[in-house]
């Protein structure tokens, strides 16, 4: 890679980290939003994307230690965000609850409003950016 390419990619990584922090800072709080730690958010995202996943799969997909995932699952269960169902043998499937779905709808609506103010109506750029970020996420999730 050239120096310019390295600098461009490093700038992109820096922007991704900072924009994520800024979006999180503007995420609403209050009675309609369930407060979660960073670890709980990571775990909840996987549960939302892969309902019925086993705790071991959640650990693999989040790249978190299994003990940290177990702690987060207990906290999310206490908050009414997940349910665990027994599967064949000693397995467990983790599912989002209706409360989790309502919480996610609230968050996504708030994020959409925030981003609409920043990017305007150019949905082609938004879709290209989302596709690029998705590709980056899949690359890092696979490793």
Q: Write the pLDDT tens digit of every residue in 65-113.
A: 999 999 999 999 999 999 999 998 889 999 999 999 999 999 999 999 9
- The structure's pTM equals 0.85
Looking at the 3D structure of the chain, how many domains does it have?
Answer: 1
Strand partners, 83: 95
Domain that holds residue 128: 28-142
For residue 12, being part of any structural domain is answered with no
For residue 10, being part of any structural domain is answered with no
For residue 34, being part of any structural domain is answered with yes
For residue 52, being part of any structural domain is answered with yes
pLDDT, one tens digit per residue, over 30-77 is: 888 999 999 999 999 999 999 999 999 999 999 999 999 999 999 999
For residue 21, being part of any structural domain is answered with no
Helices (H), 26-122: 38-49, 55-62, 66-78, 98-119
The domain that holds 70 is classified in CATH as 1.10.10.10
Place of tokens 């461009």: 8
Provide the pLDDT confidence category of residue 142 given band limits of 50, 70 and 90. Answer: confident
For residue 6, being part of any structural domain is answered with no
For residue 22, being part of any structural domain is answered with no
The total of other beta-carbon atoms located within 10 Å of residue 47's CB is 25
For residue 11, being part of any structural domain is answered with no
What are the C-alpha distances in Å from 5 to residues 2, 12, 21, 139?
5, 11, 24, 19
């Amino acid at each position: 890679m050239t120096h310019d390419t390295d600098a461009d990619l490093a700038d992109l990584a820096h922007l991704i980290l900072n924009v994520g922090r800024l979006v999180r800072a503007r995420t609403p709080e209050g009675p309609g939003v369930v407060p979660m730690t960073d670890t709980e958010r990571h775990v909840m995202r996987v549960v939302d994307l892969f309902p019925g996943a086993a705790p071991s799969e959640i650990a693999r997909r989040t790249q978190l230690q299994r003990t940290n995932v177990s702690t987060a699952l207990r906290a999310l269960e206490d908050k009414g965000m997940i349910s665990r169902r027994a599967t064949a043998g000693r397995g467990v499937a983790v599912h989002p609850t209706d409360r989790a779905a309502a919480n996610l709808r609230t968050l996504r609506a708030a994020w959409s409003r925030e981003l609409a103010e920043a990017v305007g109506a150019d949905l082609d750029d938004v879709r290209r950016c989302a596709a690029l970020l998705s590709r980056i996420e899949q690359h890092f999730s696979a490793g």
